[in-house]
C-alpha cells in the first residue's frame, strides 16, 4: 500500500504563462479558437460538418421549431465550450464573450425541465426514454460536462446562475438514483459525472455531491450488471468489443487489474477515482489506480502519449498491441490521460506521472489541433499512408488531413478547455514546499504554508532545457522546492545562486532543494536535450527493427513534404549522426532534425514483385519534425517509427 501524500495544485489564476511556445497557443484559444468553435456550434463554418448543438437547446427551450440533430451527447459540446470560455476569461477578460456566455446560460436554463432534468436529446427526440439507456444514452455524461462548465464559470465570474441550474439537476438525479431503498441502482455507461461531482463538491461544500460521486464509483462493476439487462446494451454493436469491459463495468473498480475498454471512459473513471481518493484518503482506490497505471504506462501507451489502440470501439486491446497505421489514439483520450496524471500528482508527487502528463501534452494532445487552430484530428495514428486511408476499410477511421469540425465533436472543445486551463498543471504544494511539474516560462503566486512566494520561471522549453527559477518570498522563509527531472534526461545539472548542487536529494523523480529562501535567490536547472533513439518493447511487433526519434519531450516524425513518398523505404544507420536544425517553414523557434540516411531504390528494383539479393538503396538526407506539428503544410505520408540498419 503506497503512502497517501496529498498535494494541492496551484490554481491557474495564480500562474501567468508567458513563454513563446505556450503563450501563443493560449492567446490563440482566446482570440481565434473559442470564437471559431462558437461559430461551429452555431453551424456558421462553411464546409464543416453540422453541429446543431445550440439549436437543440433552442428547440428544447421552446424558442425554435425543428427536430433534434446530432449525437445524443451533443449537449456536451456546448458545455465544454462554456468551460473553455470560462477559463479564457480568467486570463483574457472579455465583456463581449461573457455576454455571449450569459446568453447561452439563459438558454440552458429555459431548456431545463420543471423537475430539474436537463438534456436536449431526451427532451426533444426521445422523452419517453429518459433514464432507459445507461449503456449509450450519455445522460449522466452530459450532466457531468454541464457541471464542470458551471463550476468553471462560477469560479471565473462569481455568477451562480449555471451553478444553480446544475445543483437543481443534481438534486433531481439524487431523487432518482442512489443506495437508498426505492432508488435506481445505476451509473452511466460513459464516466464523467463522477469527477464533475467532486468539482461541484469542492465548489459548494455540499457533502451530498461527494456522496453521489462515491456511490457511482462504488456501484460500478457490481455483478450481475444492470447494463447487460438493458435493451439498448449492444443495440448497435453486436460483438464482444462492446461488452461490459467496454464500460469498465466487468468488475468492481478495485478488481480491474489492467486498463480495458473505451479509452476515454477509462481515463475519466481513473481521474474520478483519484479525486475521490484525494477527498477521502481511501488507500484501496490508490492501490487500484497503481495497477491500472502500470498497465497503461507500461504496456498500453504509444510513445506519443496516445492510448486506445483499436478504432473499433475506440478501446484498449491487449498488452503491447500498438499498431501504427491503424492506431486510434483519440485526442480526447490523451487529454483524459493528462487529467488523470494531474490527479495522480495530487495523490503523490511522482515524476513518472508528470513525465506521462508531459508526453501526452506535447505530443498526443497538440497533434489534435492545427497550428492555426481551425482544423482538428480526432484520431492520431503514428503512420499515415493516404492511399491506404482511401482504399482500405480498416483505415476508415484515419484522416490524412485535419478537418474543420466533426459531427461527433468531442475533441475540439476538449482541447480548448485543457489549453485555456494549462496554468493549473505547472505547480503543486504540500506542507513541505512546492513541486515544479512542467517547465514553461511563467510567473506564479504561490502560498507555501503561511508564506507567500512568487516564482518566476524563465526558459525556452521545450526547444531548450535551460530553466531558471527566480524565488521571491515576501520574507525569508524555509521550504523545499522540488524540480522534476524528466525521465528522458540522462544527465542534468542544478545550481543555486550560481553554485552547483553537487549531491542533490532526488525523491520520486524530483530534485529536492530545502533551504531558507530569500529575495532574489535563483535556481538554474540544465536539462541537456540530445537527440535520442527510442526503441519499443520487443513484443510491440510493428516496431521490431525500428527506432523513433525524441528530443526533450518532443517525439519526431517524417513527413512526405520533407522526404518524398514511401517513408517506409527510409532507413537510418545505427551510427548516423542526427543533427538539430532550424525549421524554416515551421513555427518560430521550432527545432527540426536532420541525418544522412538511405532509402529504397524503387526505380532500381524493376518490375519484379519479389527478388533475391540485396535491397537496392540510394543515399537520402532525412528530415524529421515534431509529431504534434505534422500535417500543417502539404498533405502526404507521415511516419514516427523509422527502419534502422547496421
Of 38-42, 245-249, 251-255, 603-607, the range with the lowest mean pLDDT is: 603-607
Instruction: Judge contact between 124 and 59, C-beta under 8 A.
Output: yes
Average pLDDT over residues 619-639: 97
Instruction: Judge contact between 89 and 97, C-beta under 8 A.
Output: yes
pLDDT of residue 1: 32
Coil, helix or strand at residue 556:
strand
Q: Among the options 192, 314, 348, 560, which is catalytic?
A: 314
Backbone angles phi and psi of 637, in degrees to 5 = -70, 160
pLDDT of residue 238: 63
Of 421, 429, 380, the C-alpha closest to 402 is 380
pLDDT of residue 391: 97
pLDDT of residue 237: 58
pLDDT tens for each residue of 408-420: 999 999 999 999 9
Of 46, 49, 114, 115, the C-alpha closest to 77 is 49
523 vs 470: CA distance, rounded Å: 6
The answer to whether 13 is a known catalytic residue is: no
Give residues with Cβ within 8 angstroms of 14, minimum separation 6. Answer: 423, 444, 445, 446
Q: What percent of the chain has pLDDT above 90?
A: 93
pLDDT of residue 615: 77
Task: Answer yes or no: is pLDDT of 3 > 50.
Answer: no
- With cut-offs at 50, 70 and 90, classify the pLDDT of residue 2: very low
Average pLDDT over residues 78-95: 97
Average pLDDT over residues 579-585: 93
- What separation in angstroms does the CA of 232 have from each of 30, 64, 292, 487? 40, 30, 28, 45
Bond before 566 cis per omega within 30 degrees: no
DSSP per residue over 200-251, as a string?
Answer: HHHHH--HHHHHHHHHHHHHTT-SS-HHHHSTTTTSS--SGGGSGGGGT-SS
Report whether CATH 2.60.40 matches the domain 427-526: yes
pLDDT tens for each residue of 487-521: 999 999 999 999 999 999 999 999 999 999 999 99
pLDDT tens for each residue of 297-318: 999 999 999 999 999 999 999 9
Neighbouring C-beta atoms of residue 469, cutoff 10 Å: 23
> Which residue did the predictor score with more confidence, 588 or 358?
358
pLDDT tens for each residue of 188-245: 999 999 999 999 999 999 999 999 999 999 999 999 999 998 887 865 556 778 899 9
234 vs 601: CA distance, rounded Å: 49
Q: Among the options 410, 411, 557, 598, which is catalytic?
A: 410
- With cut-offs at 50, 70 and 90, classify the pLDDT of residue 603: confident
Site of grid cell 437543440? 56
Q: Taking the chain, what is the end-to-end CA distance rounded to the nearest angstrom? A: 46
Domain ranges of the chain: 8-425, 427-526, 531-645
Of 517, 425, 433, 524, the C-alpha closest to 471 is 517
pLDDT of residue 290: 97
pLDDT of residue 4: 52
Q: Which 3-state string (H, E, C) describes 257-304?
A: CCCCCEHHHHHHHHHHHHHHHHHHCCHHHHHHHHHHHHHHHHHCECCC
Cell of 371: 497550428
Give residues with Cβ within 8 angstroms of 565, minimum separation 6. Answer: 636, 637
Instruction: Judge contact between 74 and 56, C-beta under 8 A.
Output: yes
Average pLDDT over residues 143-154: 98
Average pLDDT over residues 38-66: 96
Average pLDDT, the chain: 96
Report whether CATH 1.50.10.10 matches the domain 8-425: yes
pLDDT of residue 199: 98
pLDDT of residue 234: 66
Instruction: Judge contact between 232 and 190, C-beta under 8 A.
Output: no
180 vs 182: CA distance, rounded Å: 6
For Cα atoms 242, 266, 154, give the angle at the middle one, nearest 5 degrees. 125
The answer to whether 332 is a known catalytic residue is: no
Average pLDDT over residues 455-479: 97
pLDDT of residue 605: 86
Average pLDDT over residues 59-74: 97
pLDDT of residue 227: 94
Amino acid at each position: 500500500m503506497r503512502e497517501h501524500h496529498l498535494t494541492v495544485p496551484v490554481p491557474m489564476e495564480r500562474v501567468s504563462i508567458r513563454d513563446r511556445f505556450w503563450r501563443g497557443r493560449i492567446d490563440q484559444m482566446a482570440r481565434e479558437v473559442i470564437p471559431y468553435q462558437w461559430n461551429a456550434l452555431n453551424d456558421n463554418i462553411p464546409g464543416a460538418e453540422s453541429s446543431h448543438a445550440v439549436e437543440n437547446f433552442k428547440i428544447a427551450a421552446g424558442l425554435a421549431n425543428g427536430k433534434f440533430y446530432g449525437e445524443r451527447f451533443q449537449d456536451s459540446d456546448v458545455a465544454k465550450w462554456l468551460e473553455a470560455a470560462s477559463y479564457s476569461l480568467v486570463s483574457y477578460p472579455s465583456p463581449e464573450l461573457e455576454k455571449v456566455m450569459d446568453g447561452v446560460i439563459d438558454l440552458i436554463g429555459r431548456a431545463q425541465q420543471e423537475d430539474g432534468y436537463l438534456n436536449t436529446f431526451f427532451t426533444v427526440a426521445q422523452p419517453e426514454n429518459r433514464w432507459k439507456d445507461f449503456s449509450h444514452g450519455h445522460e449522466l455524461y452530459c450532466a457531468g460536462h454541464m457541471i464542470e462548465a458551471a463550476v468553471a464559470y462560477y469560479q471565473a465570474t462569481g455568477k451562480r446562475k449555471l451553478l444553480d441550474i446544475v445543483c437543481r439537476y443534481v438534486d433531481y438525479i439524487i431523487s432518482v438514483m442512489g443506495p437508498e431503498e426505492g432508488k435506481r441502482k445505476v451509473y452511466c455507461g460513459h464516466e464523467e459525472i463522477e469527477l464533475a461531482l467532486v468539482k461541484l463538491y469542492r465548489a459548494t461544500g455540499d457533502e451530498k455531491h461527494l456522496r453521489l460521486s462515491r456511490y457511482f464509483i462504488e456501484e460500478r462493476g457490481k455483478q450481475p450488471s444492470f447494463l447487460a439487462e438493458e435493451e439498448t446494451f449492444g443495440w448497435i454493436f453486436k460483438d464482444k468489443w462492446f461488452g461490459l469491459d467496454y464500460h469498465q463495468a466487468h468488475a468492481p473498480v478495485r478488481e480491474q487489474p489492467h486498463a480495458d475498454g473505451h479509452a476515454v471512459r477509462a481515463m475519466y473513471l481513473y481521474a474520478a477515482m483519484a479525486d475521490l481518493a484525494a477527498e477521502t484518503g481511501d488507500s484501496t482506490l490508490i492501490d487500484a489506480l497503481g495497477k491500472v497505471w502500470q498497465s497503461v504506462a507500461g504496456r498500453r501507451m504509444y510513445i506519443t502519449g496516445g492510448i486506445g489502440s483499436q478504432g473499433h470501439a475506440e478501446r484498449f486491446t491487449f498488452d503491447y498491441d500498438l499498431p501504427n497505421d491503424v492506431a486510434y489514439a483519440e485526442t480526447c483520450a490523451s487529454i483524459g490521460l493528462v487529467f488523470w496524471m494531474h490527479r495522480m500528482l495530487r495523490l503523490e508527487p511522482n515524476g513518472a506521472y508528470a513525465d506521462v502528463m508531459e508526453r501526452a501534452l506535447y505530443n498526443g494532445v497538440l497533434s489534435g489541433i492545427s497550428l492555426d487552430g481551425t482544423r482538428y484530428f480526432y484520431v492520431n495514428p503514428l503512420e499515415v499512408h493516404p492511399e491506404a486511408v482511401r482504399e482500405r476499410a480498416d483505415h476508415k477511421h484515419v484522416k490524412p488531413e485535419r478537418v474543420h469540425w466533426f459531427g461527433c465533436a468531442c475533441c475540439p472543445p476538449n482541447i480548448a478547455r485543457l489549453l485555456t486551463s494549462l496554468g493549473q498543471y505547472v505547480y503543486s504544494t504540500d506542507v513541505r514546499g512546492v513541486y515544479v511539474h512542467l517547465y514553461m516560462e511563467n510567473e506564479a503566486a504561490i502560498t507555501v504554508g503561511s508564506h507567500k512566494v512568487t516564482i518566476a520561471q524563465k526558459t525556452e522549453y521545450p526547444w531548450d532545457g535551460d530553466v531558471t527559477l527566480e524565488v521571491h518570498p515576501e520574507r525569508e522563509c524555509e521550504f523545499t522546492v522540488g524540480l522534476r527531472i524528466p525521465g528522458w534526461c540522462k544527465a542534468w545539472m542544478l545550481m543555486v545562486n550560481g553554485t552547483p548542487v553537487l549531491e542533490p536529494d532526488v525523491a520520486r523523480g524530483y530534485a529536492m532543494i530545502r533551504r531558507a529562501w530569500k529575495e532574489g535567490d535563483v535556481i538554474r536547472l540544465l536539462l541537456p536535450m540530445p537527440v535520442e533513439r527510442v526503441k519499443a518493447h520487443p513484443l510491440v511487433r510493428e516496431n521490431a527493427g525500428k527506432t523513433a526519434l525524441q528530443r526533450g519531450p518532443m517525439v519526431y516524425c517524417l513527413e512526405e513534404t520533407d522526404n518524398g513518398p514511401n517513408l517506409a523505404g527510409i532507413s537510418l544507420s545505427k551510427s548516423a549522426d542526427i543533427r538539430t536544425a532550424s525549421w524554416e517553414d515551421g513555427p518560430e523557434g521550432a527545432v527540426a532534425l536532420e541525418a544522412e540516411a538511405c532509402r529504397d531504390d524503387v526505380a532500381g528494383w524493376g518490375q519484379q514483385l519479389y527478388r533475391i539479393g540485396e535491397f537496392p538503396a540510394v543515399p537520402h538526407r532525412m528530415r524529421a519534425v515534431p509529431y504534434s506539428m505534422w500535417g500543417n503544410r502539404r498533405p502526404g505520408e507521415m511516419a514516427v517509427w523509422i527502419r534502422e540498419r547496421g
